[in-house]
A and B are shown apart, each in its own frame.
Chain A
Amino acid sequence: MSDDGRRAASAMRAVVRDSRIIVCCGTGGVGKTTTAAVLALEGARQGRKSVVVTIDPAKRLADALGLASLTNAPSRIDGDWPGELWALMLDTKSTFDDLVTTYAENEAQAQRILDNRFYRNISGALSGTQEYMASEKLYELHEESGFDLVVVDTPPTRHALDFIDASRRLVNFLDHRLFRMIMAPTRAYLRAVNVAAQAFLRTVSKVVGGEVIDDAIAFFNAFEGMEDGFRERAERVQELLADPATSFVLVASPRRDTVEEARFFAQKLAESQIPVRALIVNRMHPRFGEGLAEADRERAATLAGTPLGALYENLAAFRSVADQEEHHLAELAGEVGDAPITRVPFLSDDVHDLHGLAEVASHLFAAS
């Protein structure tokens, strides 16, 4: 391993050691889920009690960990390490249900909300809910379940900040102006506003149907009184995400399109004063030797039709793709300051067990 590689590996170990929370972000298809699992595994190897939360609907972490299925509660994975490794698959709806139950004044209020169709839509399908519940779960695991290290795999998205903003945005939604207008009948001084709101709602009903609006009104009625609890909780989640012990790790692949997405991500994080603590680039093609692709290609052309020609053609192809990848990576490196950059090559096999995770770990942390 090169000096650069050794330095990066040592810096990566330090990122895991110094973090209480690691958020893995990046687009889909770059190996984010596997990377999250490997980071949690490193935590366990460092003797910590670590847990990885996946929110990937494809349940790939379960595959990577060799577990048939993961549930919304952490399950422990046995292995030969001094710490503990736990894993769970985020269930957005039941996490939200738990939150409602916690903050409802009584069981009847909780039940009214849980049974409401509008609520079921929010907890199942509202965009941003998944991100919100992921941050909520992270808070719960960190504050209430005694984990030293929580690694969270974020939903594949190009909306980098969704995850950070999700709790605040959902609370704003629950506290919506329209909701205030709908609530107005109980507040006489707002009656004038209410007349306008009702006229507006009637028009909206014409488009989407009255039942839909009725469900929404019933939900906001049932929710009344719980906003403050939700808001305080959301604020604590936000503080936790902004804490220096929370590290954002960017996961990418060296292809042009994913590099573009990763740069976008890095810029958005920078705008929010959130540093990228590490950049992990998966699916790198190996570079075979130092020669130039162009020279190989010329030799291949001269030798066309012979086995040696084929061997050179192949070498040229790999050298040229590896060079392009390094070039793209250099552009991305400019966006992440002095964060360590680790390259993980294409593996000889798909990662679907602890052995596979250990192989990825050897690239990230290079057993010293």
Chain B
Amino acid sequence: MDPVQFLTASRVVIVAGKGGVGKTTVTAALARMAAAEGLATLIVEVEGKSGLAAVFGREPLTYREVVLAPGGGPDGAADVRGRTVTPDDALLEYLEDHGLRRVSKRLVATGALDIVATAAPGIKDILILGKVKQLERAAAAGQPTEDGGEPADLIVLDAPAAGHAITFLLAARGLLDAVRVGPIHTQARDVLELLTDPSRCQVLLVTLPEETPVNELTETAFHLEDRVGVSLGPVVVNGVYPPLDGLDADPEEAAAAAGTSLRPGEAEALRAAAAFRLARQRLQAEQVARLADRLPLPQLHLPYLFRAELGPDDVAELARALRGQVVALDALPAAAPAESGAEPR
């Protein structure tokens, strides 16, 4: 399908998955891909982790936006910008916006925020999502970003790890029950509207082609659809060994065929490395098939890059790979509003 159509299906994309599956990498690659298509992109990070900035080769993100990858160039790329939205900052801003500046200082100073957050769990999550909603509304209205960037065509939210992602996204529903009046109630209602409107928001789930991550992803997917009512985009399968023809050849014979010889011990190393890769590729193929079987969502495969550390060039490479996968997708059916309690697709 057309990459721009894919990237503009909703202004907010929430990237979620269990720890260690490369959620941050996928967030970065998706943002780079969008920017390369000329879409101004804003990454929002919620846990204060340094990983996201690191893959762009930058200092850790703050509540103020920074340019993670500048646009420009002959292809008219847009900027990738990034910032954090942490609950404490979001709360202070929220209280100040509601004329409660004086209280906000005391709430933090006395530690009463903890009491309030316990009294109404999910309040921190709703503050984060409320802030994201505010960013989305501003961008939709064509307003520049808070620090003067172009209005964001796409906001990519790097969600907390999977178990927590469900709680995080369920917070709006929970709070609607717990807090029945007042500004927090309104905020929760607005956030729920955002989450359940597929034209404004969708969730991209990330997994590795391994057994446990596939199990957890399937569970998370059904929870998110049933209990949150959020619309799921394609599943991103990260770290897939790219196919390489010739690995089943015998090294000695292959050397003879190429008219060359091998150093002592080299045949053994070549054979063992090839066998290892083929075995892992078989396992991966099994898990990819199992995922397709359990979860009828389109899959986007990102290659394993054989690196223990990713940098900006790797992110750009993954962004190109992601684009290729999107182009190869059949056009997605027009998203229908998800209904709470609906049967999993």
Q: Which chain A residues have a beta carbon within 8 Å of chain B's beta carbons?
A: 27-30, 57-58, 60, 63, 117-118, 121-122, 124-126, 156, 158, 173, 176-179, 200, 203-204, 206-209, 211-213, 215-216, 253-258, 260, 286, 288-291, 303, 306-315, 317-321, 324-325, 327-328, 346, 348-350, 352
CB distance from B101 to the nearest CB of A (A): 12
What separation, in Å, do the CA atoms of A291 and B122 have in the docked complex?
A: 54
CB distance from B12 to the nearest CB of A (A): 24
Report B35-74 residues with CB < 8 Å from chain A CB.
47, 49-51, 54
CB distance from B118 to the nearest CB of A (A): 5
Which of B100, B276, B283 is A318 in contact with, Cβ under 8 Å?
A: B276
Q: Which chain B residues have a beta carbon within 8 Å of chain A's beta carbons?
A: 18-21, 24, 47, 49-51, 54, 95, 98, 100, 103, 106-107, 110-112, 114-123, 161-163, 167, 178-185, 210-213, 215-216, 219, 244-247, 249, 251, 254-255, 257-258, 260, 263, 265-266, 268-270, 272-274, 276-277, 279-280, 283, 306-310
CB distance from A307 to the nearest CB of B (A): 3
Which of A257, A308, A349 is B249 in contact with, Cβ under 8 Å?
A: A308
The 22 sampled A-B contact pairs (Cβ below 8 Å) are: A27-B19, A27-B20, A28-B18, A117-B178, A118-B119, A125-B122, A178-B111, A204-B107, A204-B112, A204-B116, A208-B182, A209-B182, A216-B115, A255-B309, A256-B308, A288-B270, A288-B272, A308-B257, A315-B269, A315-B273, A325-B308, A327-B308
CB distance from B338 to the nearest CB of A (A): 24
The interface residues of chain B, by DSSP majority, are classed as helix
Which of B19, B95, B185, B249 is A29 in contact with, Cβ under 8 Å?
A: B19
**Pairwise interchain contact B254-A209, C-beta atoms closer than 8 A:** no
CB distance from A147 to the nearest CB of B (A): 27
Which of B119, B121, B185, B247 is A213 in contact with, Cβ under 8 Å?
A: B119
CB distance from A116 to the nearest CB of B (A): 11
**Pairwise interchain contact B254-A60, C-beta atoms closer than 8 A:** no
**Pairwise interchain contact A309-B246, C-beta atoms closer than 8 A:** yes
Cross-chain pair count, CB within 8 angstroms: 205
**Pairwise interchain contact A321-B308, C-beta atoms closer than 8 A:** yes
Task: For the A-B complex with A58-B216, A208-B179 known, give 5 more contacts whose Cβ atoms are closer than 8 Å.
Answer: A288-B269, A289-B272, A306-B246, A307-B258, A324-B309
**Pairwise interchain contact B247-A125, C-beta atoms closer than 8 A:** no
Q: For B48, give the chain A residue with the smallest CB separation.
A: A158
CB distance from B245 to the nearest CB of A (A): 6
**With A306-B257, A312-B270 as given contacts, are A255 and B118 in contact (CB-CB < 8 Å)?**
no
What separation, in Å, do the CA atoms of A348 and B54 have in the docked complex?
A: 31
**Pairwise interchain contact A177-B111, C-beta atoms closer than 8 A:** yes
| Residues of the B chain whose Cβ atoms lie less than 8 Å from the Cβ of A314 | 244, 247, 270, 273-274, 277
